[in-house]
Amino acid sequence: MKFTDGYWLNKPGFDFNFAIQSFTASMTEDALRVVCATVPIEGRGDLLNHATLTVTFTAPMPDIIRVKVEHFRGQRDPGPNFELYESPVKPVITETEDAYIFESGRARAVVSKKKRGWCVRYEGDGKLLTESEYHGMAHAHHRESGIDYMIDSLDLDVGERVYGLGERFTEYVKNGQSVDIWNGDGGTASEMAYKNVPFYMTNRGYGVLVESSSDVRFEVASEKVERVQFSLQGQSLTYDVIYGETPKGILDRYTALTGRPALPPAWSFGLWLSTSFTTSYDEATVTSFIDGMAQRDIPLSVFHFDCFWMKENHLTDLTWDPDVFPDPEGLLKKLKARGLHICCWLNPYISQESNMFDEGVEKGYFIRKENGDPWQTDMWQPGTAILDVTNPAACQWYAERLRRLMAMGVDAFKTDFGERIPVRGIKYFDGSDPLRMHNYYTYLYNKLVFETIEEVKGEGDAVVFARSATVGGQKFPVHWNGDSSASFRSMAETLRSGLSIGHSGFGFWSHDIAGFEQTATADVYKRWAVFGLLSSHSRLHGSSSYRVPWLFDDEANEVVKKFARLKNRLMPYLYGAAVEAHEHGVPVLRPMLIEFPDSIACETCDRQYMLGANLLAAPVMHADNHVDYYLPAGTWTSILSGEKAEGDTWRRETHDFLSLPLMARPNSVIPMGACEERPDYDYTDGLELHVYQPEDGEITVTVPDLKGHVAATYVVSTVDGKTTVQTDCEKPYKLVVHR
| pLDDT, tens digit (0-9, with 9 covering 90-100), for 235-246 | 999 999 999 999
The one catalytic residue among 483, 523, 580, 603: 483
**How much is the pLDDT for 669?**
98
**pLDDT tens digits for range 683-736:** 999 999 999 999 999 999 999 999 999 999 999 999 999 999 999 999 999 999
The one catalytic residue among 416, 433, 493, 523: 416
**How much is the pLDDT for 115?**
84
Task: Check whether 505 has a pLDDT greater than 90.
Answer: yes
Peptide bond into 572 cis (omega under 30): no
Burial classification of residue 106, based on how many CB atoms lie within 10 Å of its CB (0-12 exposed, 13-18 middle, 19 or more buried): middle
Distance from C-alpha of 352 to C-alpha of 333, rounded to nearest angstrom: 31
Closest to 652 measured CA to CA, from 679, 673, 624, 672: 624
The one catalytic residue among 70, 123, 148, 419: 419
Distance from C-alpha of 31 to C-alpha of 8, rounded to nearest angstrom: 35
Q: Is 291 a catalytic residue?
A: no
Alpha carbon distance, N-terminus to C-terminus of the chain = 54
**How much is the pLDDT for 47?**
82
Task: Check whether 45 has a pLDDT greater than 90.
Answer: no
Residue 250: phi and psi, rounded to 5, are -65, -45
Residue type at position 540: L
The mean pLDDT value for 490-511 works out to 98
**How much is the pLDDT for 117?**
84
The mean pLDDT value for 2-7 works out to 90
Q: Spell out the alpha helix ranges (H) of 185-242.
A: none
Please state whether beta strands 302-305 and 271-274 pair in parallel, antiparallel, or not at all (unpaired): parallel
Q: Which residues contact 593 (CB under 8 A, 6 or more apart)?
A: 163, 203, 247, 599, 602, 603, 605
- DSSP per residue over 73-96, as a string? TT-----------------EEEE-
Higher pLDDT, 636 or 47: 636
- Asked if 442 and 436 touch (Cβ cutoff 8 Å), the reply is no
Distance from C-alpha of 408 to C-alpha of 456, rounded to nearest angstrom: 12
**How much is the pLDDT for 225?**
96
The mean pLDDT value for 622-637 works out to 98
Distance from C-alpha of 53 to C-alpha of 235, rounded to nearest angstrom: 10
Enumerate domains of the chain plus CATH numbers: 10-258 (2.60.40.1760), 266-351+391-569 (3.20.20.80), 606-738 (2.60.40.1180)
The mean pLDDT value for 415-427 works out to 97
Q: Is 70 a catalytic residue?
A: no
**pLDDT tens digits for range 509-527:** 999 999 999 999 999 999 9
The mean pLDDT value for 229-258 works out to 98
Task: Check whether 55 has a pLDDT greater than 90.
Answer: yes
CB atoms within 10 A of CB 127: 12
**How much is the pLDDT for 409?**
98
- Asked if 426 and 369 touch (Cβ cutoff 8 Å), the reply is yes
DSSP β-bridge partners for residue 124: 107, 127
Rg (CA), the chain: 27
DSSP β-bridge partners for residue 492: none
Task: Check whether 172 has a pLDDT greater than 90.
Answer: yes
Q: What is the enclosing helix (H) or strand (E) of 617?
A: strand 615-617
Closest to 538 measured CA to CA, from 518, 563, 504: 563
Residue type at position 476: F
Closest to 259 measured CA to CA, from 584, 498, 576, 580: 584
**pLDDT tens digits for range 307-334:** 999 999 999 999 999 999 999 999 999 9
pTM for the structure as a whole? 0.97
- Asked if 436 and 430 touch (Cβ cutoff 8 Å), the reply is no
pLDDT band at 497 (very low <50, low <70, confident <90, very high): very high
The mean pLDDT value for 208-220 works out to 98
**pLDDT tens digits for range 643-654:** 999 999 999 999
Distance from C-alpha of 731 to C-alpha of 686, rounded to nearest angstrom: 8
**pLDDT tens digits for range 71-129:** 999 988 999 999 999 999 999 999 999 999 999 999 999 999 998 889 999 999 999 99
**pLDDT tens digits for range 360-398:** 999 999 999 999 999 999 999 999 999 999 999 999 999
Give the chain's mean pLDDT. 97
Task: Check whether 44 has a pLDDT greater than 90.
Answer: no
Q: Which residues contact 301 (CB under 8 A, 6 or more apart)?
A: 267, 268, 269, 270, 271, 272, 340, 341, 678, 679, 680
Task: Check whether 7 has a pLDDT greater than 90.
Answer: no
Task: Check whether 24 has a pLDDT greater than 90.
Answer: yes
CB atoms within 10 A of CB 321: 16
Q: Is 483 a catalytic residue?
A: yes
